[in-house]
């Protein structure tokens, strides 16, 4: 399959009708793009990561890890809530992003590595600004971690100003994190819905995190398949719906 053939895009026109009169009918355009991620999508670029086709636990996917240089680098400069992703040129502001994802340790990270894997969105330029939702599978309830780790399986952050440590310090109520029924080395479906600063995160069809106060004004940008230190991430079946 060619890189071009790996992407299927379609546009759907949905029409909602006001009761009276018919002239007040509202037309809403929804555009959906899909990538199987059996190989690197056309136009994608790598930012401190490697990416290669792989088959893992019965699924063809894109395998993503930090480069060796990034792994040997410094926290807050080369990794840890940084622009470390496969950047896909899909313009997204409001709508949904869905992907099947698996994170496992690669024995190259520090003791606090949790198989970090997820999505970046609203990425401007080469990653000067973006938002992200990622998983810490080893903090999932199925991994049976001690408190408070069991409520830190999902993380939202906004780069560069609002990384996890600042969010946790300034919002000790934990509103930007959540628990989830996940574990490392298992496939999970991750779906985020974004609407003008509001965010909903669903794992395997269940809403686990909802925010009404994302930390940056939403701006249209690209999509990233994101990993962090100590992680092998697998991504399959990416679907981006914009409206």
Contacts of 26 (CB under 8 A, 6+ apart): 15, 16, 17, 18
d(CA 151, CA 17) in angstroms, rounded, equals 43
pLDDT at 77 (0 to 100): 96
Minimal CA–CA distance to 140: which of 192, 173, 101?
101
d(CA 205, CA 121) in angstroms, rounded, equals 20
pLDDT at 13 (0 to 100): 34
Please give the structure tokens belonging to residue 187. 């496939």
d(CA 161, CA 51) in angstroms, rounded, equals 27
pTM for the model:
0.89
Q: Where are the domains of the chain?
A: 34-242
Please give the structure tokens belonging to residue 61. 């996917």
Contact indicator for 83, 130 with CB cutoff of 8 Å: yes
CATH number of 34-242: 2.60.120.560
Long-range pairs for 204-207: beta carbons < 8 A, 24 or more residues apart: 206/181
Share of the chain above pLDDT 90, in %: 83
d(CA 185, CA 55) in angstroms, rounded, equals 13
Task: Give Dmax over CA atoms of the chain in angstroms.
Answer: 65
d(CA 15, CA 196) in angstroms, rounded, equals 22
Tens place of pLDDT for every residue, the chain, 243 residues? 444 445 444 434 333 323 334 333 344 588 999 999 999 999 999 999 999 999 999 999 999 999 999 999 999 999 999 999 999 989 999 999 999 999 999 999 999 999 999 999 999 999 999 999 999 999 999 999 999 999 999 999 999 999 999 999 999 999 999 999 999 999 999 999 999 989 999 999 999 999 998 888 778 999 999 999 999 999 999 999 998
Contact indicator for 48, 67 with CB cutoff of 8 Å: yes
d(CA 130, CA 83) in angstroms, rounded, equals 8
Please give the structure tokens belonging to residue 149. 């780790």
Prior bond of 74 cis (ω within 30°):
no
């Amino acid at each position: 399959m060619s890189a071009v053939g790996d992407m299927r895009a379609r546009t759907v026109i949905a029409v909602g009708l006001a009761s009276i009169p018919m002239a007040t009918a509202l037309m809403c355009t929804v555009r959906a793009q899909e990538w199987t991620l059996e190989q690197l999508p056309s136009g994608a670029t790598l930012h401190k990561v490697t990416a290669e086709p792989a088959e893992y636990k019965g699924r063809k996917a894109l395998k993503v890890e930090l480069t060796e240089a990034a792994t040997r680098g410094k926290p807050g400069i080369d990794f840890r809530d940084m622009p470390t992703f496969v950047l896909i040129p899909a313009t997204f502001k409001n709508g949904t992003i869905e992907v099947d994802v698996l994170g496992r340790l690669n024995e190259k990270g520090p003791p606090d590595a949790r198989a970090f894997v997820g999505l970046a969105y609203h990425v401007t330029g080469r990653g000067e600004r973006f938002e992200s939702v990622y998983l810490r599978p080893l903090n999932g309830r199925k991994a049976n971690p001690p408190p408070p780790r069991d409520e830190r399986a999902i993380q939202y952050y906004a780069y560069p100003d609002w990384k996890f440590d600042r969010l946790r310090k300034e919002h000790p109520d934990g509103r930007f994190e959540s628990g989830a029924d996940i574990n490392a080395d298992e496939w999970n479906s991750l779906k985020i819905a974004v609407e003008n600063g509001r965010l909903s995160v669903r794992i395997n069809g269940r809403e686990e995190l909802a925010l009404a106060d994302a930390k940056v004004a939403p701006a249209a940008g690209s999509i990233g398949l994101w990993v962090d230190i100590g992680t092998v991430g697998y991504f399959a079946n990416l679907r981006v719906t914009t409206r």
